[in-house]
Amino acid sequence: MELVSIIVNIAILVAIIGLLIWMQKKHLSFSKRVFTGLGLGIVLGAILQAVYGTGSEILTQTTDWYNIVGRGYISLLMMIVVPLVMVSIIQSIINLKKGSDLGKMSAWIIGLLVGTAMIAAIVGIGSAALFDLNADQIEAGQAENDRGAMLESTLGEVENMSTPEKILSFIPSNIFLDMTQQRSTSVIAVVIFSIIVGIAVLGLRRKNPEQAEVFTKIVNSLYAVVMRIVTLVLRLTPFGILALMANTVANTDVAGIIELGKFVIASYVAIIVMFIIHLVLVGVFGLNPMTYLKKVLPVLSFAFTSRSSAGTIPLNIQAQRNSLGVDSGIANMSASFGATIGQNGCAGLYPAMLAVMIAPTVGIDPFSPEFLVKLVLIVGISSFGVAGVGGGATFAALIVLSSMGLPVALAGLLISIEALIDMGRTALNVNDAMLSGTLTSRILGKLNLKTYNDKTAIEKELSV
């Protein structure tokens, strides 16, 4: 009976994939296929949970099979992250008219990422105050206590690494190791290596233009091949989102969400407010926020379902370049840096909300001016330095809480809703990376407004 049920569940997924393939053959837009996959994934996941119940053997085996499509898609994306980042950044620098543009690009991108992370901290504080969040209101079970103990043991790793050491870890010592993404800072290390190669080629062009020209042709050829691979993989996005969403909903801890509903609502209110602030910034710089929103939604949908900022890099870059009209070099740098620096959701909102929740448990007024100023500044610093230790929101929270002198174990109280909140946080992180690229390109006069205003820009490559 179990085997029959599993086969039926797999057949349903295959049938929906068939529907998405039919939509592709009918040349329905990429966005429509993505949101169809998202919607049907939610429905399928809800049905699976209702029929079999969370934790059942049939559900576990079904989601294992679904992971071939969902996690398999993420693996393909991770496969192309390093070659995409490396080749495209080298190619972009080679084509720079002025070397000084590189410094301006980097400064604006990082400045926007860290600046918006500090704004996110303020929003997180406001949401925590609005909903009167307090860690004392949450009952700790065995899972929460185990999580808290794990966080305390991990704290030593974070505390033993100073901010200069974190920044030093960005610098590649073995580029082949970083190309395998074995370190938390591997992507940034690859970016730095690629920048060095690009600068070297610019210098070679002045001394030996013939050799530089040969290398440039090789890089341009590699770039064309890599971008073709990216396009082929990204066409699988609707299928990946379908499977990922079905698994996420099927395994959602409904009881945990109900128990911690106030924190879930407060988190998503803060996330939505930050999204609105992002759109306001787009409007401030003379761009249509609704056009921006429509074009980034497919990317945000994948970020939401996958909970992977790094895995979203290829889709992020493609959308910035082909849909938003962002300069190629800026798109590559903003997507790469944004995956680890200044994350608005994981390094901005989340640690700030936790700090405000936990402070009253140790007799600290979380709304005193000195506490708030210190918290926002620490969030800004850690949103840059957290890339040195990896682990996303967990490590960001550890750094902020320990720097504020607050007990880190209480962060484990939210384990039952961690996945649900992380979906929204990841989408916000990715949107901030795209925002920094779009605004930097606009500020430096490198934004292609014709592409930005073209409603079908990205569909031309991904709909066929």
Give the percent of the chain with pLDDT over 90.
31
CA 214 to each of CA 200, 269, 328: distance values in angstroms, whole numbers, following the listed order: 14, 53, 21
Asked whether the predicted pLDDT for residue 458 surpasses 50, the reply is yes
Most confident segment among 75-84, 157-166, 267-276: 267-276
pLDDT at residue number 268: 94
State residue 132's pLDDT score. Answer: 86
With 0.75 as the threshold, say if the pTM is over it. Answer: yes
Q: pLDDT at position 281, please?
A: 97
State the chain's mean pLDDT as an integer: 83
The CATH number of the domain holding residue 144 is 1.10.3860.10
Q: How far is CA 84 from CA 109, 196, 317, 341, 457, in A?
A: 19, 16, 9, 19, 20
What tokens were used for 172? 């590649």
pLDDT tens figures, 329-342: 899 889 888 887 88
Packing angle of the helix pair 369-385, 393-403 (nearest 10 deg): 140
Provide the residue range defining the domain that includes 147: 2-462
Is pLDDT of 172 > 90? no
* Mean pLDDT to the nearest integer, 49-62: 86
Judge whether 271 and 304 are in contact, CB under 8 Å. Answer: no
Residue among 457, 416, 462, 372 nearest 118 (CA): 372
Residue 137 pLDDT greater than 80, yes or no: no
Distances, alpha carbon 300 to alpha carbons 145, 305, 311, in Å: 33, 9, 12
Count the alpha carbons within 13 Å of 261 in the hemisphere toward its beta carbon: 4
pLDDT at 146 over 70: no
Structure tokens at 210: 């013939």
- The number of domains in the chain is 1
Mean pLDDT check: name the lowest of 110-114, 119-123, 326-330: 326-330
From CA 265, how far away is CA 272, in angstroms rounded? 10
